[in-house]
Structure 1
Amino acid sequence: MNQTLASPPAPAGLTGTALFDLLARSWTLEAPVASVTLDTAGKAAGFALADGRLALVPLDDPDSPMQRIRLELDSGRSTIRQREKPVAPPVYTENLGGTAAMVAASGKIGFLAAAADGRVWRVTPRGQVIPLSREARPLSALATDGRGLVALAQEGKVDLLEEEGMTRRVGLLTAGAATALAFAPDGQSLAVRLAEGVLLWPPGQEAVLLPFPGSGPVAFSAGGGWLAASDGDQGLWLYRRADGSFGQIGNFRAPPLSMTFGAGDATLFAGGAFRLAGWSLDTPPLDGGQSGALRSGRSGLVLVERVAAHPDRDLVAFGTAEGAVALVRPGLPDEMLLCPGDGAAITALHWSACGLHLAIGTAAGGAALVTLPPRLFK
C-alpha cells in the first residue's frame, strides 16, 4: 500500500501517526531511556538506559524510507510503500554501573560511556565494551570534542584527556563538582557548569567565570558565537561571546531540561513551556526574553520537555511530557505531528548530523529512529 508524502495523514493511534509508521523504526527497550547519542561516523544511535546499559541500533536501514519512495510519472507526486523487511532488534551492552551512564560520541569509534563511580569505556557500534580507565574518584560529567579529546568532571576539578590512552593533558580546579560540560564547536573552549556560574575555559589558559548561577544543561551554538545555560529554576542564561553581553530569560513554567540553537546561529529554542519557546538571535532576548520571540507551533496544556533543531533546515522537533513529538518551522503555527503521545514523557531527542534521522527516547523505554526524506519538506 502506497501513501503520498505531499499531505501528511492525521494521527492514527498511540504508536504514532500513519506518517510515523511509514518512516520510523521503533522498539520497546527493557528500561527507561535517559539520553540518546549518535556517533560521529553516523553509524549508530546509543540509547542510555536507566538500568546502566546501552541499547545500540544502526542508522543504516536495509528497508529505508529513502528506498521505498517512488515518483509517480503521471502525477509527479511522491508515494511511499509500507515496510517489508523486519526491524533489527537492538544490541544491549553489559551493565555499566547500575544507573544511566554518561555517554558522548567518541572521536575514534562509537561512544564513550562513563559511570558515576569513575569507570570509563569505549562502546563500539556493535556493542563491544572496552575499558579505558578507572578514576579514583566519582565522576559527575563527561564531554568529548569529537576529535579525540575527553573532559571528565570530578569533585573539585575537571581534567582534559587524550582519548587514545586516556593521557591527561591539562586540568582545571573548580569549586565543587561540575554538573554539565560542553565543548565549543572549534574545541578551543570548554563550558563548565557549576552551582555559582559557568566557567568558560580555554584549556591551558585562565578560565572566566560567567555570573550564571544554577544547574542544568549548557549548549553552544553550532557556529560557537552563543552559549546558553539553564538556571535550574524557571529560565536560562544567554551569552554572546563576541562582546560578552548576556541576559536571563525567565517566566518558564518549569526548568528548561533541553535547549537547542537553530541552523546558522539564527535562533534559540528551549523546553519548559506549554509551547515551543523560541527567539530570533537577530534581535536577541538579552532584555529578559521580550526581544525576538518566535511564536512557533500551537500552545497546549502539556509541557514541552525536549527540543532539537535540524542541523541544516529551518525546522525544529519537540517532545512533550506526555510523549508527543512534532516538527515545526520557527515562527509558524503549523505542526507536523509524528507521535500523538502515550503518556510517557519524551526524555531524549536528537538529529543525526546529516539531518536525515531523528532519534527519540521515552521514560517508558520507547525508542525510535525516524527517517525523514528531504523531499518531505519541499
Structure 2
Amino acid sequence: MKIDLANPAWQQTLPPARSLATDAPVAACAFNRDGSTVAFALGDGCVRLLPADIQQAAPEAAAPLHTGVALSLVGDPAGDGFVSGGDDGRVLRLAADGTATELLAQKGKWIEHLVAHRTGAVAASAGKSMFLFRDGEVREFGPHPSTVAGLDFSKDGSRVACAHYGGITVWSLSKEVVLPPRRFAWQGSHVALRWSTDGKFIATGTQENDIHVWRVAQATDMRMQGYPAKVKSLSWTADARFLYTSSQPVFTAWPFSGKGPEGKPPLQFGDEGAGLMTVVAAHPTAEFVAGGYDSGELQLGDIRTKRSVVLKMADGSPITCLAWSPDGFKLAVGNDRGDLLTIDLRR
C-alpha cells in the first residue's frame, strides 16, 4: 500500500470520500468479503448497503430489517453479503441485494456483538450466551456469569473467547473432541475483547479504565493502566507486534514483540487530536492505523514514521465505528449523528 504521510499532499488535502446523511446513529460498519459493498447498521433498524466505489450513486434506503436498533454487523465470510444483529434478538443473513434470512431469534435479548472467521463461521452474543453459526448449524455456548460484553475467534477459528464479569471464557468449537471451557479470571467488568492476530494473547478493556492481557498458552496475565476513560476499542496489527487502544488523544500502541510490554510504556505517536479516540482500527496488511475521536475527527497514523494526518475534520459528532476494506484502500466510517462515510485512500 503506497501511502506516504510525509508527502505534503497528505498533509494539506483530505482524501476523496462519499458521505451520506441519515437520521439514525451508526452502530457498526463492515465491508463484504470481496470489498465491493460496504454496509452500516443504524439505530432505526436499517442496514444500509452501499457500493464501495465512491463514484457510484447510493441506492435508496430500504425498510428497516430489525424492529428496533441494528446493533452489530460483519461481512458474511460464507457469502457475498453481511450478517447483522439487533435489539430485537434476531441475527439476520443479508444477501448482496439486501434480502434477509433469519438465523436466530432470541426474544428479549440483544445481539450486541458479532464476529466472523474466514473459515465461514460467525459467532454472536445474546445475553449470557454465545451462538455459533457454521455449516448451516447453530450451537449455543454458555451461560456465562453475566452478559457477554465482547467476543472474538482465535487465529485458526477453532476457539471463541467471550468477555464477561470476572474475566473471559474460551470455548473449543470442535464437535469431535469435546473440551471443557477455559476460564481466565480477573475481577471486574470487561467491556471489550480482541484475540491477537498470532493467537498468543487475548486483550480486554475493563470498567476500571485499563486493559488486561492474557498469554493464552501459559495463562499468565498483565495489566496496563493510566487511561482517562474506559477502553472500548482494541485492535491488533496484522503481525501482532502492537496492540492499539482507544481513549487517548494520540495513537497508543503496546509492544508485544520480544518480552512484551511489561515494565515498558506504550508507543505514542501522531498529532494530538481534538478529544479522545473512541475507535481504533489497524490496517489489515500494512503498518497504518485509523483512529476516530469523540469530536468527530479522524486520523490515519503510520507507526513506522510516527506521523499522522487528518482524514476528516472534527464536527462534534463522535465516531462510532471504523472498518477497512479487504484490500486496505478504503475506510468506512460511521458517527453518532448518522453520517455514512466511505474514504478512498488511493491517490
**Pairing partner for 2:123 from 151, 169, 178:** 151
AA partner of residue 19 (structure 1): L
Q: Distance in 1 between matches of 2:145 and 2:268?
A: 39
Partner of 1:351: 324
Are 1:119 and 2:90 matched, yes or no?
yes
Which 4+ stretches in 1 moved above 4 angstroms? 283-286
8 Å Cα contact 1:303/1:321 also seen in 2 = yes
Give the alignment partner of residue 272 of structure 2, picking from 262, 275, 299. 299
Letter in 1 for 2:193: V
Match of 2:104 among 121, 133, 144: 133
Q: Which residue number corresponds to residue 190 of structure 1?
A: 160
Give 2:249's aligned residue.
274
Q: Which of residues 133, 136, 154 is equivalent to 1:161?
A: 133
Q: Give, in whole Å, the separation in 1 of the partners of 2:127 and 2:332.
A: 32
Aligned to 1:225: 200
Match of residue 284, structure 2, among 311, 325, 333: 311
The one-letter amino acid of 1:357's match is K
Q: Tell me the secondary structure at the aligned position of residue 101 of structure 2.
A: strand
Aligned to 2:49, which of 50, 56, 76? 56
Supply the AA of the counterpart residue of 2:100. Answer: V
Match of 1:42 among 35, 43, 61: 35
Cα shift readout 1:60-111 (whole Å, capped 9, x = no counterpart):
45x4xxxxxxxxxxxxxxxxxxxxxx64346435241212332222233211
Structure 1: gaps (5+ residues): 12-17, 64-85
Check the 8 A contact 1:143/1:151 in 2, yes or no.
Answer: yes
**1:21-57 CA deviation, whole Å, 9 max, x = no partner?**
xx21221123111111222232221111112111111
Does residue 102 (structure 1) correspond to residue 103 (structure 2)? The answer is no
Residue 8 of structure 1 aligns to a residue in which SS? helix
Over 3 Å counting, the alpha-carbon distance change for 1:335 and 1:133 in structure 2 is closer
Q: Which moved more, 1:250-259 or 1:234-243?
A: 234-243
Give the TM-score normalised by the residue count of structure 1.
0.81
Q: Please, which runs of 5 or more residues in structure 2 have no aligned partner?
A: none
Task: Give 1:125 shift.
Answer: 2.4
Asked whether the 8 Å contact 1:238–1:286 carries over to 2, the reply is no
> Residue 253 of structure 1 corresponds to which residue in structure 2?
228
Distance, in Å, in 2 between the alignment partners of 1:136 and 1:261 is 34
Q: State the identity as a percent.
A: 24
Secondary structure of the residue that 2:9 maps to in structure 1? coil
Aligned to 1:178: 148
Q: CA deviation at 1:188?
A: 0.8
Q: Give the match for residue 66 of structure 1.
A: none
**Structure 1: distance between partners of 2:39 and 2:94:** 9
Matches of 1:366 and 1:169 in 2, distance apart?
36
Let me know the Cα RMSD of the aligned residues.
2.5
Q: Secondary structure at the match of 1:173?
A: coil
Q: Partners in 1 of 2:28 and 2:60 — Cα distance? A: 15
Matches within 5 A, 1:61-72: 61=54, 63=55
* Number of matched pairs: 336
Task: Name the SS for the 1:57 alignment partner.
Answer: strand
Question: 1:100 & 1:169 partners in 2: Cα distance?
Answer: 22
Shift of the 298–185 alpha-carbon distance from structure 1 to 2, 3 Å rule, reads: same
